[in-house]
Amino acid sequence: MDSLPGSLSLTVEDEVAILTLSRPEKRNALNMETVAGLAAFFAAPPEGVKAAVLDAAGPHFCAGLDLSEMTSIHTPMASVTHSRAWHRAFHEIEFGMIPVVSVMHGAVVGGGLELAASTHVRVAEASAYYGLPEGQRGLFLGGGGSVRISRLIGAHRVMELMLTGRTLSSEEGLALGLSHYRVADGEGRALAVDLARRIASNSAESNFAIIQSLPRIAASAPESGLMMESLTASFAEGSPETQARLAAFLEKRAGKVTRD
Ligand code: 1HE
């Protein structure tokens, strides 16, 4: 793959890529170079990688849009072009070929929360907090948050967070669905890697169906959704690997579904 910008760093452990936002001196604020780097990485993940972890260096996950870049955006066309570039990048994450587990800590605000909302599994450390300070900055969401964050917590909560500028704690975020897990500070990355390894061990067809079809089915009219569900199931079950996995279970060679 093309080289990453300096604001992103990559390690690959077996089938799991760990991509780290690496601009802690600016609290991982998302400049266009970083957004383009995210788009390029998730459009073409390294060969053999089956799942990714999105982590962040320093005390904060992401301070959102790099506000210093906004000073050069003076026209509606420049602004819409900027937003659409974010949309393309986050689309590559949400509808890419590999499931992504994010690890959130400290500030997860504005565009940082939009970025996290485009990942498939979200782990929060206790220090994580969430906010949408767009109202205070004279901005609006532009990285897909109106759709994705609203889907997670409801448009009414997105509205309230943007209007008041208040923040939610990691406990509140867990209860509302902003994260799926909440762990002690410093424990997020290990859990995320463990989850990514587990995800990577699923059949590739099932993972593809889960991240590509499920959100589209859920957003469809029920009758179309049900049809799409049947077609997706036939795609996943048609994999040669499925028969081997079913045989392994029936011959008592596969794991059982037990309480973690
Ligand atoms: C930044 C940014 C940024 C920090 N753009 N440079 N986002 C916000 O409104 C959040 C703005 N940031 C903050 O509220 C705070 O920086 C934090 C709570 C995240 C962290 O505080 P702290 O005390 O640890 O760091 P700091 O001293 O405020 O910032 C360190 C440096 O990062 C400093 O630069 P320096 O050159 O003076 O060292 C800050 O200016 C810089 N920095 N955040 C640019 N966001 C697609 S639309 C999405 C719309 C949005 O995302 S709106 C939300 C914008």
Predicted TM-score of the model (pTM): 0.97
Give me the pLDDT at residue 240, please.
87
DSSP β-bridge partners for residue 151: none
Q: How many CB atoms lie within 10 A of CB 59?
A: 12
**Can you say whether the dihedral through the CA atoms of 162, 165, 170, 171 is positive or negative?**
negative
Give me the pLDDT at residue 3, please.
84
Helices 32-43 and 76-94: crossing angle in degrees, nearest 10, is 30
How many whole angstroms separate alpha carbon 55 and alpha carbon 84? 24
What does the pLDDT look like over 53-98, one tens digit per residue? 999 999 999 999 999 999 998 899 999 999 999 999 999 999 999 9
CB-neighbour burial class of residue 202 (10 A; exposed 0-12, middle 13-18, buried 19+) = middle
What does the pLDDT look like over 203-228, one tens digit per residue? 999 999 999 999 999 999 999 999 99
Max CA separation in the chain (angstroms): 65
- Beta-carbon contacts of residue 166 (< 8 Å; ≥ 6 apart): 131, 160
pLDDT at 190 over 70: yes
Q: Give residue 2's pLDDT band: very low, low, confident or very high (50, 70, 90).
A: low
Q: Which of 66, 67, 91, 127 to mutate to test the pocket of ligand 1 (most atoms within 8 A of CB)?
A: 67
What does the pLDDT look like over 12-51, one tens digit per residue? 999 999 999 999 999 999 999 999 999 999 999 999 999 9
Q: Residue 189: phi, psi to the nearest 5?
A: -65, -45
Positions annotated as catalytic residues are 114, 134
Q: Which of 35, 38, 33, 34 is nearest to 52 (CA)?
A: 38
CB 26 less than 6 A from any atom of ligand 1: yes
Strands 100-104, 121-125: pairing kind: parallel
CB 87 less than 6 A from any atom of ligand 1: no
Distance from residue 25's CA to the centre of ligand 1 (Å): 10
pLDDT at 1 over 60: no
Distance from residue 107's CA to the centre of ligand 1 (Å): 9
How many whole angstroms separate alpha carbon 136 and alpha carbon 127? 23
pLDDT at 185 over 60: yes
Distance from residue 12's CA to the centre of ligand 1 (Å): 29
